[in-house]
């Protein structure tokens, strides 16, 4: 049996479904050229997939139909291979925590490095950049959760961090209505103390928008944890920044003094 195929069979016996090129080269003493040729051949046969240079997934018969396993099964070893910390958040994070409306079509990962998004089979992996200083403060164990999969665990945003991520990157979370749905589904699970700790480092305008949504859905404990941040605001902000005022047209919108927001739209969610 060719060296790479033998290595794959041995890994499957041990329950391992991912590997890196250096691991195989060290174990088999193949030349890099021979390894690359063998890997290309197995990819054509749909036995392997490669989401990142030098990192490979061993495909089962079931995986061959979708082109790759569920990303939750390999995102942790992939990020270890890249050497970058991460958390699963936004739409797939909301689905993990029980927001049944969030059937994510994209697997979203927040990371402190600009990484290229990519597609693998039917899966789309989207990386969302967060500055390293900011990321280091919030990506702490007390604010994270673990998603269990057949191959191990993956890091995910806890409910409080997920809610703040979603409002901060609302354009990646199905817009303001998508975020409102997440708040409606998950907001009552949020610990007010954790919310306040995280809100201290998030953009004040994002915190105010989240506070407004909490109050809109009658989640007073969570809203009360954020109201002090609105008192620090120096100017009004749009509730939905994606809706820009039309130039030359005077537009009147209701103002929310408590949250220092211009209510330039109504949020709409599924009942």
**pLDDT on residue 249:** 47
| Residue 189 burial class via C-beta count within 10 angstroms: exposed 0-12, middle 13-18, buried 19 and up | middle
C-alpha closest to that of 51 among 27, 34, 73, 24: 73
What residue ranges in 96-168 does DSSP mark as E strands? 107-111, 118-120, 123-129, 144-149, 152-157
* Listed range (93-97, 166-170, 245-249) with the worst mean pLDDT: 245-249
Asked if 110 and 87 count as a contact pair (C-beta separation under 8 A), the reply is yes
Q: For residue 212, what is the enclosing H or E element? A: helix 204-216
- Indicate the pTM of the whole model: 0.92
Q: Is 56 helix (H, G, I), strand (E, B) or coil?
A: strand
148 has which bridge partners? 153
**pLDDT on residue 2:** 67
| CATH 1.10.10.10 for the 3-66 domain, yes or no | yes
Q: Percentage of the chain with pLDDT > 90?
A: 76
**pLDDT on residue 152:** 82
Please report, in angstroms and rounded to a whole number, the separation of the first and last CA atoms in the chain: 58
Instruction: Work out the pLDDT band at 1, boundaries 50, 70, 90.
Output: low
**pLDDT on residue 14:** 87
Task: Considering only residues 27 and 147, tell me which one the structure prediction assigns the higher pLDDT.
Answer: 147
Reading the block at residue 177, the tokens are 């209505």
Q: Find the mean pLDDT for residues 179-207.
A: 97
**pLDDT on residue 246:** 65
Distance, in Å, from the CA atom of 221 to the CA atom of 187, rounded to the nearest integer, reads 10
pLDDT at 104 over 90: no
Q: Find the mean pLDDT for residues 185-201.
A: 97
For residue 212, what are the contacts with CB-CB under 8 A and spacing of at least 6? 239, 256, 259, 261
Task: Considering only residues 94 and 28, tell me which one the structure prediction assigns the higher pLDDT.
Answer: 94
Distance, in Å, from the CA atom of 179 to the CA atom of 265, rounded to the nearest integer, reads 14
Reading the block at residue 234, the tokens are 């120096």
Domain boundaries, the chain: 3-66, 73-236+253-263
* Listed range (71-75, 103-107, 243-247) with the worst mean pLDDT: 243-247
pLDDT digits (tens, 9 = 90+) for 111-153: 999 999 999 999 999 999 999 999 999 999 999 999 998 778 9
pLDDT digits (tens, 9 = 90+) for 236-258: 999 999 987 766 544 678 999 99
Please calculate the CA angle 222-89-100 and round it to the nearest 5 degrees. 75
């Amino acid at each position: 049996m060719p060296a790479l195929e033998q290595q794959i069979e041995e890994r499957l016996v041990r329950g391992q479904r991912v590997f890196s090129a250096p691991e195989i080269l060290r174990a088999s003493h193949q030349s890099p050229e021979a390894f690359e040729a063998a890997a290309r051949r197995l990819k054509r046969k749909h036995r392997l997939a490669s989401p990142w240079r030098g990192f490979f997934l061993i495909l089962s018969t079931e995986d061959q139909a979708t082109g790759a396993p569920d990303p939750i099964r390999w995102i942790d070893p992939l990020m270890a291979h890249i050497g970058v910390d991460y958390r699963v958040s936004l739409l797939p994070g909301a689905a993990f925590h029980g927001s049944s409306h969030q059937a994510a079509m994209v697997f979203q990962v927040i990371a402190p490095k600009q990484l290229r998004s990519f597609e693998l089979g039917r899966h789309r992996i989207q990386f969302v950049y967060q500055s390293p200083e900011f990321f280091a403060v919030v990506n702490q164990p007390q604010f994270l959760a673990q998603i269990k999969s057949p191959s191990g665990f993956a890091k995910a945003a806890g409910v409080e961090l997920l809610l703040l991520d979603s409002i901060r990157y609302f354009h990646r979370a199905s817009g303001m209505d998508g975020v409102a749905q997440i708040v409606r589904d998950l907001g009552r699970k949020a610990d007010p103390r954790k919310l306040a700790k995280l809100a201290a480092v998030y953009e004040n305008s994002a915190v105010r928008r989240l506070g407004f949504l909490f109050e809109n859905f009658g989640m007073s404990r969570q809203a009360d944890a954020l109201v002090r941040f609105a008192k620090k605001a120096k100017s009004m902000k749009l509730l939905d920044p994606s809706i820009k005022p039309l130039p030359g047209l005077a537009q009147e919108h209701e103002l929310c003094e408590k949250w220092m927001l211009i209510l330039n739209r109504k949020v709409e969610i599924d009942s």
